[in-house]
Amino acid sequence: MRLLDVKAVLDREAHIQQADPEREILKELDDKGTRYAILSHRWGDEVGYEEMTGLMNMEERKRDQIRQRNGYQKIIKSCKQASKDGYELLWIDTCCIDKWSSSELSEAINSMYRWYQNAQVCYAYLNDVDESVFPAERNCDKFSESDGWPEWFMRGWTLQELIAPKQVEFFNKDWAPIGNKRHLAPTLEDITQIPWEVLRDGLAAKRLSVAQVMSWAAKRKTTRVEDRAYSLMGLFRVNMPMLYGEGKKAFQRLQLEIIRVSSDHSIFAWNPSEPRTGSVLAEDPSDFRSGSLIKIVKPDEFIDSLMALIEWNALSGPRHSHHRFRKILSNPIRWCRLAWLRWRARAISHRLRTISVTSSGIQVCLPVIPSRDSPSHLRAILPCGYVPFIIDLVSSGSNFERTSATARISAPTTTYPEFKTLCLTYHRDANETHREFALDDKYASYHGFTRCGTYPCEFTGDTVALSSLADDLIIIVYANDHNGSRFAVGLGYHLGQGWVHAVYDGCSPTQKDRIPWSNFAHGTFWRMWNARAEHVQSMPKQEYDDERRRNDHFIKHVHIPRSIWAARVVWGRWEMENFKIMVDVEQCPGCCDGPRGWATTCNEHCGFDTPGFMDTTCYPYLLRLDGWWAQFAKCSGPRIVLGDYGEYSDGNFKCTGNIFEDMRTLGNIDPTESVYQPLVCHVSGSGWLMRHVENHIDLAMVCHTSTEGNHLALRQPKGLRLPENGHFELLLKELAIRLAGKHLVISVIQCSSLYGVDIHGEARDSGDDSTIDGDNHSMQPRILTPLYIVVSPQVWQREMPCVQRREQFKSIREHFYALVNIRQPTGVEVRHKSAVHRKTARTSIAHLGWHQNRQKKDGAIRFFSEMFCLHHLRNYVGKIFFFERLPSIMKSDSVSEVSTGSAEGLFTKLNLFVRKPTLQP
């Protein structure tokens, strides 16, 4: 992968007359371990690879002509933006690929999706946008040739360039920023028909069918016909050689490659623009223009829907009776036939998942309905979509060809289908046989834990691929090398259902130094593999069918023995297509030993992104922030500021502090950094209220959810909300120790004035603003804060330590203080002092309740006696939490096992508990 050296390009441009012609401006690097930016744009008068590298060897007149091109200026502006953002390397397809080399061009096209995915940021340059804001509405007059939107959204290659990068920044014609992909997700979904979950979190965010992904490319265009297929390879994770000149055969080859790695029958669920007979594969992505509604269904779900349809059609016939408004089949023959058909479908359900490609055609098992009029025609029912989707087939010798167009079963029929293995005329099918899970484990590093390896297979990045058709399991091991703590998270599939489980390493810290993590992972793998049925049964089940509960999450808490930490695994509701797994480490309250059951939590993110999991309540006022609907509460007391935290109950918020003010007290945080600055949002109100208002410039209508019509009108509204980056989430994690149980204001609405309106948009009361900010503590005149959103951060919802453990903490502190404040003995006094230490240690052991076990008692006495004689124990006396964490170290099967090492070595490990973590995401 060749990358532009940003500094070299800019230095050459700044000193074009004195520039060294031998200085290299391109570097050959690997995309995995390199930090770089990437450009996405529409081609015009571009500068190629040879022109860019040989610019200084040209004569001055030709060099000046190249520098005046729009394509060259685009390269310079891209380099300046990358340098401004702190990137030293930049990739641009026009000048970083030698297109005269067919092998290099083929390698670049096959790797391009990965290059965009691994880039830290993608600059999307919209050369036909003149405004300083992103176009939020279709404009067919200005963008007449691109369906009313900027041309960038109608090109084939920009589809993967929009989905693959984690961060996409949009720029207008003058290189002014006009938004990014995450904030503009609702608008981008209207433009591209790509779900906003995919735009924000990538392809792993939803379980997508082949037809759905193909539908995104249905209206896009490319200069070369072959690029319609080549530009989609990355989206389906397939590779194939480039053969420019093959025309539409490229798309046929693409479908065959997809079928080789999947079993998704939706690749056959396409509608041609004109009826045709022949191949069962589509000729162009435009055939999938209506495929956005084609979902992936499991074989059992498909059989249930199929049998329900057959029973309904059978009951529509003449041989049925009614009983209490319910149809009952009265013909015993038909009843037996239905029962046999259901048993047959269950017996061969595994064959519905298999599609194989041979030299003679595509082998596939499908339920088919023969035609009464022609024995050579039949209708095959595809196992995809919640409503059965059928294709018409005609026999051609031993194979079957596609005929006419696809249609949905609508007319009642009493013909029973039969399951038959068909050989479809040559084309392969593509559907993912693997399920990708998004893994978020960056917060585990807050307490020094890192991902040290996976078993039995390796993977890198943030996604884990598991087979959804067979039992599959992968073990991820996390370790803290400083104190020897380890735990493992298992992700698996069993009988078509996913499961997650977490375990800790039971070895002592001294044993972990000798036993490699791979042995721990190997043993954990087989223990989980043998118990995978139990793990599936222990997974929490869906309790609500309400769509509003789709953000429910489940938390697994596993205490790590001989430490103060617990591993937390947060798992989304997979039945709601939430395939994100979060692994975190937090301080354990000291009231558990080993794994515990699943707990339910909720991540009501109010539409827009929030810093971490947030638990919110329903508020009565509705507004749109950057296109997302959000619910707000009305401020009726003292002014509420963004970042305030405090107590909240029954609609009343009592502020006790502000996180932006607290940031100044944290020594390792610079509050002036951009990552901690509030985000400004565009505010838009209710459309049906706005229709009744004539002059609505700088006015937003706030809708009240009650029927009383207590709506509001805001003048010059401005929305503010907290940033959602990793730095800010780690800030909330650091504040969690002292802000447990508090609520946080994550968004506020400011305005110059407000008044009440009725359901017709007419003013009701002019005095609403008198109750807002009544104490006038805003530094700017007439800046009101009428609405706010207060949430409970999940990271602040900690359990209180148990009462028994608190009493132990108190006892330990009292005896430690009494011992370390005694002056250091000398001479004969040493022996006497040592005896006193041992006597006091026995008293401490008695208070801790260890006197009943002689082995624990003797080990604990030796442990305390050695520690009390250490001179540097005084350095730890002032740290109260040191004593609070000591029982976690003593929490083991045998105290004598803990005290086998010297006190000096134990202090080396205990020193890690008082080390302040750094805020690095």
pLDDT, position 688: 67
Each residue's pLDDT tens digit, 609-627: 777 777 777 788 888 888 8
529: Cα separation from own chain's centroid: 27
Identify which has the larger pLDDT, 316 or 705: 705
Is residue 915 a contact partner of residue 885, using CB atoms and an 8 Å limit? no
Strands annotated E in 42-156: 89-91, 121-125
| Mean of pLDDT values over 519-525 | 90
pLDDT, position 736: 76
DSSP string, 828-865: THHHHHHHHHHHHHHHHHHHHT-TT-HHHHHHHHHHHH
Is residue 168 a contact partner of residue 162, using CB atoms and an 8 Å limit? yes
User: What is d(CA 496, CA 478) in angstroms, rounded to the nearest whole number?
Assistant: 27
pLDDT, position 817: 66
> Of 97-106, 261-270, 348-357, where does mean pLDDT reach its minimum?
348-357
User: What is d(CA 805, CA 811) in angstroms, rounded to the nearest whole number?
Assistant: 10
Is residue 95 a contact partner of residue 52, using CB atoms and an 8 Å limit? yes
pLDDT, position 627: 81
- Within a 10 A sphere around the Cβ of 604, how many other Cβ atoms? 19
Each residue's pLDDT tens digit, 731-751: 887 787 678 888 999 899 999
- pLDDT-derived band at 542 (thresholds 50, 70, 90) equals low
> Of 79-83, 148-152, 556-560, 808-812, where does mean pLDDT reach its minimum?
808-812
pLDDT, position 91: 96
Q: At a CB cut-off of 8 Å and minimum separation 6, what does 457 contact? A: 474
**What does the mean pLDDT of the chain come to?**
76
pLDDT at 467 over 80: no
Pick the most confident of 260-269, 690-699, 879-888. Answer: 260-269
pLDDT at 3 over 90: yes
pLDDT, position 595: 59
DSSP string, 254-321: HHHHHHHT---GGGG----SS---B-SS-SSGGGGTTGGG-----HHHHHHHHHHHHHHHHHTSSSEE
| Mean of pLDDT values over 450-475 | 77
| Mean of pLDDT values over 207-215 | 92
Report the candidate in 351, 373, 333 with the shortest Cα–Cα distance to residue 419. Answer: 351
| Mean of pLDDT values over 544-550 | 49
**Which residues are bridge partners to 558 per DSSP?**
567, 595
Distances in whole angstroms, Cα of residue 243 to Cα of each of 34, 110, 251, 482 = 30, 13, 11, 54
- pLDDT-derived band at 664 (thresholds 50, 70, 90) equals confident
Is residue 179 a contact partner of residue 679, using CB atoms and an 8 Å limit? no
Question: What does the block give as tokens for 809?
Answer: 């903490």
pLDDT, position 317: 45
> Of 593-607, 636-650, 872-886, where does mean pLDDT reach its minimum?
872-886
Identify which has the larger pLDDT, 874 or 633: 633
Each residue's pLDDT tens digit, 752-777: 888 888 777 677 754 454 445 444 33
Report the candidate in 419, 364, 791 with the shortest Cα–Cα distance to residue 601. Answer: 791
pLDDT, position 580: 79
Which helix H or strand E contains 115, and what residues bound it? helix 102-118
Q: At a CB cut-off of 8 Å and minimum separation 6, what does 263 contact? A: 353, 354, 355, 429, 431, 433, 469
User: What is d(CA 38, CA 91) in angstroms, rounded to the nearest whole number?
Assistant: 5
| Mean of pLDDT values over 813-827 | 59
Report the candidate in 120, 160, 105, 118 with the shortest Cα–Cα distance to residue 31. Answer: 118
- In this structure, what are the phi and psi dihedrals at residue 662, rounded to the nearest 5 degrees? -70, -25
- pLDDT-derived band at 28 (thresholds 50, 70, 90) equals very high
User: What is d(CA 901, CA 897) in angstroms, rounded to the nearest whole number?
Assistant: 8
Type of residue at 511? Q
| Mean of pLDDT values over 568-586 | 75
